[in-house]
Amino acid sequence: MKKVLFISFEYPTGKTYCGGVGQIVGQSRTALLDLGYEAYTLISAGFTSRQPVKLLFPEGLIKNYSSLNDFLKDYDWCKFDYLIHHFVNWTKELKWIKKHKEKRPKIIYHFHSILRREKESGFRTLNNFLYNQERMIELADKIICPSAYEYENFARYFPVFLEKVVLVENTIERFSSDKTIQDKIKSEHNIGKKDIISLYVGRLERIKGAHIVLERAPQILKRNKNLKLFFIGRWLEPDLYHKLLQVRRKFPFQFFYKRFLNKNELFQYYYLSDIYINSSLSESFSLSTHESALCNTALLLNHLPVLEKFKDAALFFDVNKDDFTRKFEALIKDSRLRNKLSKKAFEVASKFVKRSRLKENLSRLLIKN
């Protein structure tokens, strides 16, 4: 039985933040376990030799190590057949592995966005261990690309390494509608039959466009008393968090913030929601947009190339104009428009899910390598 070690800075274990990266790690791990691989997952917030790490075993048990060095006392890298780095640019360790003359693991780099593209767009990553992405691309034996959109970008930025890249599009985990949980949510937030529920899901930072929504939220909430707006995700930029708190204080019965929700509960918010907002300024795939579409939610999206698949199934706004407010209020007031768009978005997302071949693609990749 071949051993695989996933390496990630996030994973859906317990009540801690887990974004799209961690969820894809979880789904990839499940796929390989189903295929008969012995799949382990190494999780750390920063991946330096002195920081604590967690090891998730194939059977689901978790062992805590005080540092990476302690982990390496029990597990030599070369005892694994594959190391799959999910956005962890750990070049120092990989250089050592590549120099190993005897049997060594194949190194697979699963990137989730191209950082040079984001940098050239004026953004910065807050995770210091992401900066060596280009060195990771050079060191890896194979590279997994998460979407057709980023595959095109990769070909433009790194044509010399194109033969290493395999397109394995993200997949989506679905949860069923649960009336009991939904009734609890309605009761907690005093949601009535005539209320319009809108959802923002993502980190509280500018690259996700959180500032766009927060700047316009007060005037929209003031004009639309039946609107209830939920922000869900951890905050990373203090000034945006303070702005969020200001809006919450001013509109305590209309504006709500949840730092963390487990995935099943998040899906119940999707099912209850009338309007999903994706104001992000940079996306490689946008897991939450697909998830909300699968729950029959009308989409209000920023114009991003990766979201072109929803071009006839959503309202798109222009961030350079005050287009957001106009489009948002159009959806708040027009139930027929919401119903029409939600049905179309559901069809687009459903077709994507039916085409998903995560397990087959991973199996093909590992067999060839």
- In this structure, are 95 and 198 located in the same domain? no
pLDDT of residue 192: 95
Residue 184 lies in a domain: yes
The closest of 340, 327, 334 to 279, measured between CA atoms, is 327
- In this structure, are 50 and 145 located in the same domain? yes
Domain end marker among 136, 153, 170:
170
The closest of 124, 66, 125, 129 to 93, measured between CA atoms, is 129
Half-sphere exposure of 62 (CA within 13 A, CB side): 11
- In this structure, are 216 and 115 located in the same domain? no
Tokens coding 32: 């390989």
- In this structure, are 91 and 218 located in the same domain? no
What sign for the dihedral angle of Cα 83, 87, 90, 94? positive
Domain end marker among 141, 170, 199:
170
Residue 143 lies in a domain: yes
- In this structure, are 208 and 340 located in the same domain? yes
- In this structure, are 73 and 196 located in the same domain? no
- In this structure, are 296 and 197 located in the same domain? yes
Q: What is the pLDDT of residues 118-167, one digit of tens each?
A: 776 666 655 555 568 888 888 899 999 988 888 998 999 999 999 999 99
Query: What parts of the chain have a pLDDT lower than 70?
Result: 13-18, 46-49, 101, 120-131, 368-369
> How many domains does the structure of the chain reveal?
2
Q: How far lies 39's CA from each of 56, 61, 102, 178, 298, in Å? A: 9, 12, 22, 31, 38
pLDDT of residue 225: 97
Q: Are 108 and 81 in contact (CB under 8 A)?
A: no
Give 102: exposed, middle or buried? Use CB within 10 Å, 0-12, 13-18, 19+: exposed
Domain end marker among 170, 193, 223:
170
Q: Which helix (H) or strand (E) holds 166?
A: strand 165-167
SS3 assignment, position 62: strand
Residue 364 lies in a domain: no
Distance CA(275)–CA(202), nearest Å, equals: 15
pLDDT of residue 86: 87
Residue 41 lies in a domain: yes
Question: Which CATH number covers residue 14?
Answer: 3.40.50.2000
Strands 106-110 and 142-145: parallel
- In this structure, are 205 and 98 located in the same domain? no
pLDDT of residue 47: 63
Q: Which helix (H) or strand (E) holds 155?
A: helix 148-157
Distance CA(297)–CA(238), nearest Å, equals: 30
- In this structure, are 347 and 204 located in the same domain? yes
Residue 361 lies in a domain: no
**pTM confidence score:** 0.87
Residue 365 lies in a domain: no
Residue 363 lies in a domain: no
pLDDT of residue 46: 67
pLDDT of residue 314: 97
The closest of 100, 97, 103, 194 to 139, measured between CA atoms, is 97
Which residue in this structure is represented by tokens 């950082």?
115
- In this structure, are 129 and 210 located in the same domain? no
Residue 20 lies in a domain: yes
pLDDT of residue 8: 87
Q: Domain span at residue 67?
A: 3-170
pLDDT of residue 177: 97
- In this structure, are 185 and 139 located in the same domain? no
- In this structure, are 147 and 188 located in the same domain? no
